[in-house]
A = this chain, B = another copy of it.
Amino acid sequence: MSDVTGLRERKKQRTHRAISEAAIALFLERGFTRVSVAEVAAAAEVSKRTLFAYFPTKEDLVVHRFADHETEAARVVRARPAGTTPLTALREHFLDGLRRRDPVTGLNDDPGIRALFRMILDTPALVARVERFNTAAQHALAQALRETADTPALTARLAAAQLVAVHWALALDNVERLARGEAADERYATAVSDAEHGFALLENGLGRLPTATPASG
């Protein structure tokens, strides 16, 4: 990973960090939309053109931190112990994430993380970008299901869509509550039972949900 390669490589890493940190600091201070990339470039002491050599879009200045999560679900499914279903592996992984207060679960109230989450939620362009990550995660997960569970193509696709949708809904719910000021430790117990509820829904289906009847015909 972080091989101590040549000077060139080290400088690139430093520039990457410098740009990213300048960007986050400015965005948190004044809001994503109210800071131009030119300002970020100036703050990081590089040219605008160089900035775009490191980050393809303005949004990526923020969300590149989540890039790893794009393949996380697929990796969890691939690495699951023999005899474990993909669903179980993903549930346990999510529950473990809650325990570890992994930001990907939304249950992290570190001031920096919380501010970042709030900013993302408040910025449609960033939400859209995160949702594109989800789409990518969905594809990777579908492939993992096909390859490690012999799931037929369509089933894999449908299952992946459901899994990613539920995962995201659960995380978003946590993020929103913490954004309103709740503490992570305070929220933890509910977050766990919510997650268990979500995964139970995935496992057992919506069929056995008690269903009221609409007012009239």
Chain A residues close to B by CB (< 8 Å): 78, 80-83, 85-87, 128, 131-132, 135, 148-151, 154-155, 157-159, 161-166, 168-170, 173, 194, 197-198, 201-207, 209-217
Contacts and interface: CB of A to CB of B under 8 A. Distances in A.
Contacts of A204: 204-205, 207
Given A81-B214, A158-B166, A162-B166, 4 more contacts: A128-B132, A131-B131, A131-B132, A154-B198
A26 B98 CA distance: 50
A155 B78 CA distance: 29
A201 B82 contact: no
Given A162-B166, A165-B165, A197-B154, A149 B212 contact: yes
A151 to B, nearest CB: 7
27 contacts: A82-B214, A83-B213, A85-B211, A86-B211, A87-B207, A128-B132, A131-B131, A131-B135, A148-B212, A149-B211, A150-B210, A151-B209, A154-B197, A154-B198, A155-B197, A158-B169, A158-B198, A158-B201, A159-B201, A159-B206, A161-B169, A162-B202, A163-B206, A165-B165, A202-B205, A202-B206, A205-B207
A155 B196 CA distance: 12
A81 B157 contact: no
A86 to B, nearest CB: 7
A207 B217 CA distance: 34
A93 to B, nearest CB: 15
Contacts of A87: 206-207
B80 A159 contact: no
A209 B158 CA distance: 12
Contact of A161 (B165, B207, B217): B165
Contact of A203 (B161, B168, B173, B205): B205
Contact of A81 (B155, B198, B211, B217): B217
B169 A213 contact: no
B173 A168 contact: no
Contact of A162 (B82, B135, B162): B162
